[in-house]
Structures are given as C-alpha cells and as structure tokens.
Structure 1
Amino acid sequence: MANNSEPSLDDLSLFLAVCRSGGFRAAAKLLGLSPSHVSETIARIEAQLGVPLFSRTTRSVMPTEAGKKLADRIAPLLAQTRAALYDATSAHQEVRGRLKLNVTGAVMVDILPPLIDRLLTKHPGVRVEVMVDDRLVDITLADCDAGIRYREHLAQDMIAVPIGPPFQHLAVAAAPSYLRSRGIPRHPWDLLKHDCVRLRFSSGALTQWTFEREGERLNIDPSSRLIVGVDAAAAAIDLACRGHGLICAFGNWLDPYIQSGQLEPVLSEWWHRFEGPLLYFPSRLMPAPLRAFIDLVSEDRTRS
C-alpha cells in the first residue's frame, strides 16, 4: 500500500456503487452524494492502495483489472458484514431494514406480489425493493440480498429454496373467435401456419414455445405477427383475447382467461411441465429481512 491508512467500509461501499453504476455521476445520484465527493473518495482509495482502480475517459469510467478483482473480492464480504449488522440490530427486536430482490418477470404476476404483501403486513419495519430483470445478474454486485430465477438460469454457488408452486407449465391458448376463423391446431407443427403473439425477453431473445408428450419434446419457432416484451405480458394476453393470434405463456398467467372463456386452451396434451422458481442467495449469513422472507416462503409452501 502507498500509506498506512486503509479505506473505510463506507468508502469501499462507494467504490462498489461506482462499479455497479458505471460512472461517478451515476453512483452519486444513486447514493445521494455530489459527483465531486464520489470522485475525491475514489482518488483517496487509489492513493491508499497505490493502484488505479478505474480507467477514466471523457465518456466512460471502467474498472481496471485491479478494480475488478477488488470488487469481486469485497462485494460478498461487505454483503456479509451488512447482514451481520442487520442481525445484531434486529436480535430481540422488530425485524427492520431493506430487502432487495432481483427477480425474473415471470414471478411478478401472481407468485411474488402476495408474498411481499404478507411480508410488509407482518413486518412494518421492512422496506422492499424489487429489480425485475430477465438477464442473469450477479446479485452481489447488484447490491441485492437475493434473486429469483428458474433452475436453468440459476447462478452457481448459491443456496436455493423453492418459492411458489413446485411445478408450472407452459400453456397455449387463443380467443374463440380466432379459432373459429382459423381452425384449431392439432399438432405443435400446425402452429407454423397460424398467427402467434410472441413474448420477448429484455435480452432480446424470444421466449421458447416448448412442447412434450410421451417422451417426445419439440421446440417450435412460429412466425410472430405480434411481439410484446415480457414486461408487458398482460397486454399480450389481452391482445390474444381480442383475436390476434395464439399465445404461449405460463399456465398460471392464462388460467383466469381460460376460466372466464376469453381464451380457449390449445394442444393441452402437449403442454410442457417444469420445476417452479427458486429463491437464491449467496450465504447462510443473511440480513434479518431476508430471513423473515424465507421463513414466510417456507410457511407458504407448508400450507400448500
């Protein structure tokens, strides 16, 4: 090191905020500080360590190799420190503090909102922030306490517990008016001849239309007359109800519309069944709000 002093925990947290946000001004806005204070703090840390942590240009601020390595090492340590402090202040007291989740949009329709409602009602001292992102995100670097993903998109080296239904399925449906005018598909390949309402992830990829029956599995890529981002899935379902084509989505999303008669199920014998979502987090040492949320999730699964 360049001198005997070491960066404080507050300074290191600010350093991680710059890494996450990609710039001094963005970090300053996130933390409610002035850009000059952020810049001066980073300069002080670099002087204390004796190495540059960021490459600065007029257009961007990027971590150096030393900066990336430092962020990777200290992010989980600071998260554990924050968890220990939360536990110390919450022991024998009301559960208080922030719960920040990074989740896929698939759980925001009917799985996560009721759980958050119950958490906030049971623990008035808890604040909840939900980041909806269908990309695989490093929840530690994103300053999140936990994430929710499906197993195939689950980050490695994480503790995971089921949340919501143990199993779900993809369903296909269309408005009765559409099926009367265009006919009912009898096989997944028939979908290639139909108008379809497709959903697109924030990554840019279209959601898969997967079918299975008696050991046979098919991935169909039908033409899309209409494409809607998954964040606006409710609008896509509404347009399908208005007769603009077949839609493939989570069965629990489409069930209310099927039950009301706005949509009719199609190819139900081919619907793909898969494991439900998982709540994941990096350590068993966790902040009190996350522990309270996990307890609530466990209670919910025990009742069901």
Structure 2
Amino acid sequence: MFAFLAVVRAGGFREGARASGHSASRLSDSVRRLESRMGVRLLHRTTRSVVPTEAGARLAERLFPALGEVEAALDVVNHYRDRPAGTLRLNVPATVARLVLPSIVTPFLQTYPEIRLEVIVEDGFVDLVAAGCDAGVRYDERLEKDMVAIPIGPRTQRMATAAAPAYLDRRGLPEHPRDLLGHTCIRGQFASGHIPTWEFERDGEIVRVDPDGPLLVRLGAAADLALRAAIDGLGVIHLFEAWLQPYVERGELEPVLQPWWQTFSGPYLYYPGRRHLPAPLRAFVDFVKEAPAPT
C-alpha cells in the first residue's frame, strides 16, 4: 500500500522510486501484488503516464490519511533517538521557494543532518493530506481550515511595480496607478486561469487596475520569464518587491509608483493539528519558531 501511494503521489514509478528511495521495479512488483490480492486494477499504465483507475483513486483517497497515521505512529520511535530523522515534505508556492526558504533550509538541514527535506512547489490551493505532504506554506487568505499556522519568513511584504529605464524613456513615467491603463504591462495568471488585477494603496485609498499587455505568464512558475521581458524593455511588471530588488539595485529596472506599493502580511507555515507531530515536522516547527524573523 505504501508503494501504491508512492506511485500515485509522484505520478509514476520512476518518480515514485526517487521519492521513496526504492527501485521502480520494486514499486511495480508491489503494486502488481496489491492488484492481484484485491482482484482489481488500480493504475492505468501507459508509456507516457501512470494514473489511478476509479477504484485506485478511491482507494488512495482513503489510504492517504490512514497510512499517514501509521507513519505518525512509527515516528514515535524518533523520540528515542539523539536526533530526529526521516523525511519532511513541504508544499510551497514559487515565491516562498525563492524568497523565504533559502535562508531557512540550509541552516535547518545542517542542524538536523538525518532529516531529508522534500520541497514540492505548487502555486494552487492543495489538500496537504491528499498531496502526501506534512506541511505547507501559504499566505493567510489561502490557508486551509482546521490547520495550525505559525509565521515563517518576513512578516510584511510588498508588491512592487517597475520597468526598464529604456521603456520609461520611450513611454514616460506613470504618476498614478490608472496611468498604467495606457502602458504596456506584463501580466500574471494563476493556475486556475484567473488573472488578478493590480492593487495599489496610498493614504487609505485603494486603486485596482486591469492593464493590458502582450505577455501573460503563470504566476510563480514563469515569473523569471516575465522579469526578463521587463528588463528587456517590453513593459511594466508588478511582482514581489524582494524579487525585483536585485534588478532595481543594478539599475536594470526602475521603480514605478513607489508611494502606491501595497503592504501585506507575510506567509505562514501550516500543518494538521495532530497531537503528536512527526519528528521531522516538529523539529522544523521549533526551528522556524526560534529563528529570528527577517524584515
């Protein structure tokens, strides 16, 4: 059953083997034995993909939380070790992987060398248990219900707007957010297909604009492509301030509408409120709580 879930979670035998530390052939044999014992096909296998059958999907849905409890029970042994060991799976958006985790991951793994950290980058909303993850990082408006949440990373962040000096020389500097409606802008899109408006705030006034432009990219996953286009002078970009800051400092981008940049609360580490947390997760939670919050 663990082999079956490893394959379902990873989307294939080869990927499941990498995640579980077993060979692909061993996972395949285990799943085949499970199918034989249950008398039903659990996975559709092709040369290009491995996906659960309807029966397999229903089985996985019930097994994920059940075997998660089994793993938690076995993890009790960790409390008798000098140092916690095991795998910690985190589900985070691309912005957190780029802007928050780099200052945390290396010192954490150096402190706990017997822990193996897996970081799954997804910008959409996920069910942690179904995704086979121990914890996630999201912003407060996207936290799952019935989860324990603690602050991680900077407690305030800003969305910043910028453009290449060459672009601003050609098109002029916007003085109000609504001026962006007459500019070429590089837009972002969520995995759901939703294209968020750009939101600005100054002295209690909130202005939302929906500018147009020739380039639309998936937020997070293709942000570097949008950034490159902005540096090359294609148009105005609206992104996390920390993401744009190095390019502003080098003069490749110039801040736009800076008094209107909107501040919002930083991300949270969230996880199911179990009485006994797996040892790797408990170690990570304690590490995050003790770490000084960056500004």
Q: What TM-score, normalized by structure 1, do the two folds share? A: 0.81
In the other structure, the counterpart of 2:72 is 83
User: What are the Cα deviations for residues 43-87 of structure 1, in whole angstroms up to 9, with x where unaligned?
Assistant: 42x36xxxx7959799964334x963x644542342233133224
**Aligned partner (choices 18, 28, 35) of residue 28 of structure 2:** 35
User: How has the CA–CA distance of structure 1 residues 25 and 114 changed in structure 2, closer, same or farther, with 3 Å as cutoff?
Assistant: closer
In the other structure, the counterpart of 2:243 is 253
In the other structure, the counterpart of 1:297 is 288
Q: Is the CA contact 1:24–1:39 (under 8 Å) kept in the aligned structure 2?
A: no
**Aligned partner (choices 210, 217, 234) of residue 206 of structure 2:** 217
**Aligned partner (choices 125, 134, 145) of residue 136 of structure 1:** 125
**For residues 173 and 72 of structure 1, what CA distance do their matches in structure 2 show?**
45
Q: Is the CA contact 1:24–1:61 (under 8 Å) kept in the aligned structure 2?
A: no
Q: Is the CA contact 1:22–1:62 (under 8 Å) kept in the aligned structure 2?
A: no
Q: Is the CA contact 2:147–2:270 (under 8 Å) kept in the aligned structure 1?
A: yes
**For residues 86 and 92 of structure 2, what CA distance do their matches in structure 1 show?**
19
Q: Give how far 1:183 is off.
A: 0.7
**For residues 301 and 253 of structure 1, what CA distance do their matches in structure 2 show?**
21
Q: How does 1:27-176 map to 2 (within 5 A)?
A: 32=24, 33-44=26-37, 46=38, 61-64=52-55, 68=58, 71-176=60-165
Q: How does 1:162-201 map to 2 (within 5 A)?
A: 162-201=151-190
Q: Give how far 1:34 is off.
A: 5.0
Name the amino acid aligned to 2:279: A
Q: Is the CA contact 2:4–2:30 (under 8 Å) kept in the aligned structure 1?
A: no
- Can you give the 5+ residue segments of structure 2 that lack an aligned partner in the other structure? none
Which segment drifts farther, 184-193 or 30-39?
30-39
Q: Is the CA contact 1:22–1:60 (under 8 Å) kept in the aligned structure 2?
A: yes
**For residues 23 and 181 of structure 1, what CA distance do their matches in structure 2 show?**
50
Q: Give how far 1:159 is off.
A: 1.0
Indicate the SS of the match to 1:109: helix
**For residues 245 and 7 of structure 2, what CA distance do their matches in structure 1 show?**
44
**For residues 301 and 187 of structure 1, what CA distance do their matches in structure 2 show?**
37
In the other structure, the counterpart of 1:240 is 230
User: What are the Cα deviations for residues 190-223 of structure 1, in whole angstroms up to 9, with x where unaligned?
Assistant: 1111111223334443344222233332332211
Q: What TM-score, normalized by structure 2, do the two folds share? A: 0.83
Which segment drifts farther, 21-30 or 83-92?
21-30
**For residues 240 and 286 of structure 2, what CA distance do their matches in structure 1 show?**
26
User: What are the Cα deviations for residues 114-170 of structure 1, in whole angstroms up to 9, with x where unaligned?
Assistant: 211111111111111111011111111211111111122212211111111111111
User: How has the CA–CA distance of structure 1 residues 176 and 55 changed in structure 2, closer, same or farther, with 3 Å as cutoff?
Assistant: closer
User: How has the CA–CA distance of structure 1 residues 114 and 22 changed in structure 2, closer, same or farther, with 3 Å as cutoff?
Assistant: closer
- Can you give the 5+ residue segments of structure 1 that lack an aligned partner in the other structure? 1-10
Matched, 1:286 2:277: yes
Matched, 1:274 2:267: no
Which segment drifts farther, 248-257 or 227-236?
227-236
In the other structure, the counterpart of 1:5 is none
Q: Give how far 1:181 is off.
A: 1.3
Q: Give how far 1:253 is off.
A: 1.0
Query: Identity of paired residues, percent?
Result: 43
Q: Give how far 1:242 is off.
A: 2.4
Indicate the SS of the match to 1:108: helix
Q: How many residues align?
A: 286
**For residues 240 and 33 of structure 2, what CA distance do their matches in structure 1 show?**
49
Q: Is the CA contact 1:80–1:286 (under 8 Å) kept in the aligned structure 2?
A: no
